[in-house]
Structure 1
Amino acid sequence: MDAQLPRTARLVRMALPDHVCPWGLRARHLLQSKGYDVDDVLLTSREAVDAFKAEQGVKTTPQIWIAGQRVGGHDDLRRWLGLSVHDPKALTYRPVITLFAMAAAMSLAISMAVRGTPFTIEAGIWFVGMAMCLLAFLKLKDIEGFVTGFIGYDLLARAWLPYAYVYAWAEATSGVLMLSGQLVWLASGLALFIGGIGAASVIKAVYIDKRALTCACVGAGSNVPLGFVSLLENLMMLSMGLFMLMMQ
């Protein structure tokens, strides 16, 4: 497709002294990465921006022309090039997968630094502890938003709302104690308690009641579907809690 397209494009974008439109920069990079020779036209004053919008009958910048044909804005350009357009409302597991991957990478790196090998029992404990701490951080940075989402499906939180606040702090406490190796009985007890209730809540909401919900596991405003990954998080806490108790 690209070989048949003209190789010149005109890009009109906003570049004010106190604000440069990020979508204009993204459009320029996209055009250049596709091999276009870009005529980059800057609107450097608010008056110039308003005049351009009025002249072209558009509400936003940037605007792109290819071979004299107006394509539109950044998203329109992506569609014209046959590329996907980000949907902020689309359900995705990316946030939680990224979090688990980062926790795994950090735990392996620390194990390598401390033990001389990445593959140790401690690395597994550190992985769960780090994942719990990262998950707790995302909940606590907007605790009210987390509570609103959490009470939509957690069995105990729906019966006693303060538990939603307790949950986030309990997860953080258990994660920190796992990393420190101290008060193992408390770290394990908290993990077993919140993990057990969480697993039961996900099973009931998703697999019994067949409800389509988003998970509050990575905090407020996420589009992570409530399902297997959410269940895996709770089973992970349950398993690590049991393992640490057995190791004592």
Structure 2
Amino acid sequence: MPDTPTPDAQSGKKAKLYRMVMPDHLCPYGLKSKDLLERQGYEVEDHHLETRQQTDAFMAAHDVETTPQTFIDDRRIGGYEDLRVFFRLEPPPEEQSDTSYQPVIAIFAVAALLALGLSWHQYGDMLTLRAFEWFISLSMSILAIQKLQDVESFSTMFLNYDLLARRWVPYGRIYPFLEATAGVLMTAGALVWLSAPVAFFIGLVGAVSIVKAVWIEKRELKCACVGGGSNVPLGFVSFTESMMMLFMGLWMPLKACLM
């Protein structure tokens, strides 16, 4: 384990950084470490490991398996993530959670901004009913893109909780295409007779599946809503996604009848 003195115990603002700078490889974490040290006010003594032999010799000499490596006051801090812990920019690994809502927050935030922008462009006003509809349909489309990047991985994670996919496995592979189709058509306001039933159906099945898995069976699962590699916990966010689709499946036909 690297030594981790606190920043308050430092005797100076100098650091030694050893990073790979080769003709065919420039270590990105080395650049990030250098940038972080400089932003923290350190004068960086930047040592380039320019060959594989130099890198291997350095790692053997300091009994480490990776580079870059940072030293402050002749004490090894470690790599880029160790530096972030050292500067208290994130908690130690043992205190870090495996789950994160960041992907979902990013998707919903961008979808909301796109919807507001479209509404402003179309109507000269951001706070319109159409903006709310676009927010949901664009969220569906972006979430579908996440799933379509690796359909097999998504479908595998989906099988952990979706009731229909457990009865008919191909549904897990079809689902992202259904969500994308409904999202795109609802964004365009086209073929409501097709998009609304699809959104209502997948939203209803999803909502029931999540309620059963999370609140009835009390299972702790990862949500496949942002793809198969997701660390988003299954629960409120996933349920909200399903309810948005369910709402749009009901609202779009009703709106068409009222117009």
Is the pair's TM-score, using the shorter chain for normalization, greater than 0.5? Answer: yes
Moved more, 36-45 or 159-168: 159-168
2:163 is the counterpart of 1:144: no
Paired with 2:196 and 2:149, the residues of 1 have a C-alpha distance of 24
Paired with 1:18 and 1:143, the residues of 2 have a C-alpha distance of 33
2:176 is the counterpart of 1:168: yes
What residue is the counterpart of 1:187 in the other structure?
195
- 1:54 Cα offset (Å): 1.9
Give 2:137's aligned amino acid.
Answer: G
2:91 is the counterpart of 1:80: no
Given candidates 248, 253, 259, the residue that maps to 1:240 is 248
2:163 is the counterpart of 1:155: yes
2:102 is the counterpart of 1:98: no
- 1:90 Cα offset (Å): 1.1
Paired with 2:76 and 2:104, the residues of 1 have a C-alpha distance of 39
Moved more, 3-12 or 28-37: 3-12
Given candidates 52, 60, 70, the residue that maps to 1:46 is 52
Given candidates 30, 46, 53, the residue that maps to 2:36 is 30
Moved more, 148-157 or 89-98: 89-98
Residue-by-residue CA offset, 1:138-190 (whole Å, 9 max, x unaligned): 11110100110111100111011111122211111111110111111211111
- 1:4 Cα offset (Å): 5.1
Paired with 2:184 and 2:88, the residues of 1 have a C-alpha distance of 46
Paired with 1:159 and 1:59, the residues of 2 have a C-alpha distance of 46
Distance 1:193 1:86, change over 3 A: farther
Aligned to 2:229, the other structure's residue is in SS state coil
Paired with 1:78 and 1:123, the residues of 2 have a C-alpha distance of 39
Q: Which runs of 5+ in 1 are unaligned?
A: none
What residue is the counterpart of 1:56 in the other structure?
62
C-alpha contact 2:85 2:92 (8 A) present in aligned 1 = no
Paired with 2:61 and 2:7, the residues of 1 have a C-alpha distance of 30
What residue is the counterpart of 1:213 in the other structure?
221
- 1:57 Cα offset (Å): 2.1
Distance 1:86 1:148, change over 3 A: farther
Alignment length, in residue pairs?
248
Residue-by-residue CA offset, 1:72-122 (whole Å, 9 max, x unaligned): 222222232233158697111111111011111001101111111111111
Paired with 2:67 and 2:203, the residues of 1 have a C-alpha distance of 48
Aligned to 2:171, the other structure's residue is in SS state helix
What residue is the counterpart of 1:132 in the other structure?
140
Moved more, 4-13 or 229-238: 4-13
Moved more, 3-12 or 178-187: 3-12
Paired with 1:4 and 1:57, the residues of 2 have a C-alpha distance of 25
2:204 is the counterpart of 1:196: yes
Moved more, 30-39 or 51-60: 51-60
Residue-by-residue CA offset, 1:32-76 (whole Å, 9 max, x unaligned): 111011101111111111121222222211111112222222222
Aligned to 2:226, the other structure's residue is in SS state coil
Aligned to 2:19, the other structure's residue is in SS state strand
Identity of paired residues, percent? 48
Aligned to 1:113, the other structure's residue is in SS state helix
What residue is the counterpart of 2:3 in the other structure?
none
C-alpha contact 2:84 2:90 (8 A) present in aligned 1 = yes
